[in-house]
Structure 1
Amino acid sequence: MHPDLLIRDETPADWDAITTVTEAAFASLEISQHTEQFIIQALRVAGALSVSLVAHIHGRVVGHVAFSPVTLSDGTPNWYGLGPVSVLPAYQRQGIGQALIQAGLARLNALQAGGCCLVGHREYYVKLGFRNPDGLVYEGVPPEYFFALCFDGQLPQGTVSFHPAFAATGH
């Protein structure tokens, strides 16, 4: 990990940099619809960014992670969705994304969250403690790409709905 890495809450002064980082991070990802920056903006406008952290190196924003509330069909409260998480391509594979996620999960724990879920790649998220949950699904996503991390030992059952901002496609 970079020795000068600083992780902190986003501020309004970071918003343009977060957009730039997010666009760059997802630009070459074939499975992306390249709407991640719009999702973050829509979550912010809706007041649904429960945790929004930036990674700074030498005063420059090089990464970002967002966490927002999810709704569970069984009524379980205090669960959150992770994403998007973005790191500038020149800084990827240096542990910055992992550090952002771990810092965000610590913030969720401090909020007494029940857990966190996401859509992502197995190779990456299993290292952070996430598992494919039995009995909890995100419709339209193959189960091998849906992950959850339970903080309180009570894994909800049913269907997860992410915030409507995840349907954002532009300004």
Structure 2
Amino acid sequence: MLIRRETPADRAAIHAVHSAAFRREEGAVPVEAPLVDELRAEGDLIGALSLVAVRDGEVAGHVCCSRARLGDDPAAAVGLGPLGVLPAHQAHGVGSALMHAVLGAADALGHGLVVLLGEPAYYSRFGFAAASALSITAPDPKWGRYFQARTLTAYRPVQAGAFAYAPAFSRI
């Protein structure tokens, strides 16, 4: 398996990955697929943090981070998601490989925090914990323990406050 940055040639495959990974009912396009397209079109998708997993010549998974705001600091944190893996490749380490790669890349780029909305039982293995423990406020208080953050090397305790995802997230 190869983890690499997405290229323009990957865009249809990325859309297909999220459509298949998050499909809840036949024929319906899950919001995660167009979300990635919108983040990219609006310039909020961070190119160096939009990664694909390639297995046997096929894009099997994708993860991305987008611009976000934490308090008054537009560079302190990035929003992670979506993370999607084709159903045939799930439970084979693709999602974990993507997570380790994107966290390493975000750290290397100097980001202090990665924030996401997801299942604590899954994301805790990557060092995520309740964002509230770091004094980070969710856009929606109902998110509770599902709103999580992971500190990176550049993290400073003053990086706290209200978190805001890129505008495309507010339309889903």
TM over 0.5: yes
Q: How does 1:1-20 map to 2 (within 5 A)?
A: 5-20=1-16
Q: Structure 1: which 4+ aligned runs deviate by more than 6 Å?
A: none
Amino acid at match of 2:113: G
Q: Closer, same or farther in 2 for the Cα pair 1:52/1:41, shift >3 Å?
A: same
Stretch moving more, 138-147 or 72-81? 72-81
2:32–2:82 CA contact under 8 A, matched in 1: yes
Any stretches of 5+ residues in structure 2 without a counterpart? none
Any stretches of 5+ residues in structure 1 without a counterpart? none
Offset of residue 74 of structure 1: 4.3
Q: 1 CA distance for matches of 2:34 and 2:171?
A: 6
Deviations 1:46-71 (A, max 9, x none): 12211110110111001000101110
Q: 2 CA distance for matches of 1:12 and 1:131?
A: 33
Q: 1 CA distance for matches of 2:170 and 2:143?
A: 18
Query: Counterpart in 2 of 1:158?
Result: 161
Tell me the TM-score normalized by structure 1: 0.88
Q: How does 1:51-130 map to 2 (within 5 A)?
A: 51-75=49-73, 77-130=75-128
Amino acid at match of 1:144: R
Stretch moving more, 71-80 or 52-61? 71-80
Aligned residues: 162
Q: 1 CA distance for matches of 2:57 and 2:36?
A: 22
Offset of residue 168 of structure 1: 4.3
Q: 2 CA distance for matches of 1:122 and 1:10?
A: 27
Offset of residue 19 of structure 1: 0.5
Query: Counterpart in 1 of 2:147?
Result: 146
3-state SS in 2 of match to 1:84: strand
2:67–2:79 CA contact under 8 A, matched in 1: yes
Tell me the TM-score normalized by structure 2: 0.88
Q: 2 CA distance for matches of 1:161 and 1:62?
A: 29
- Share of identical aligned residues, percent? 38
Aligned Cα RMSD in Å?
1.7
2:3–2:51 CA contact under 8 A, matched in 1: yes
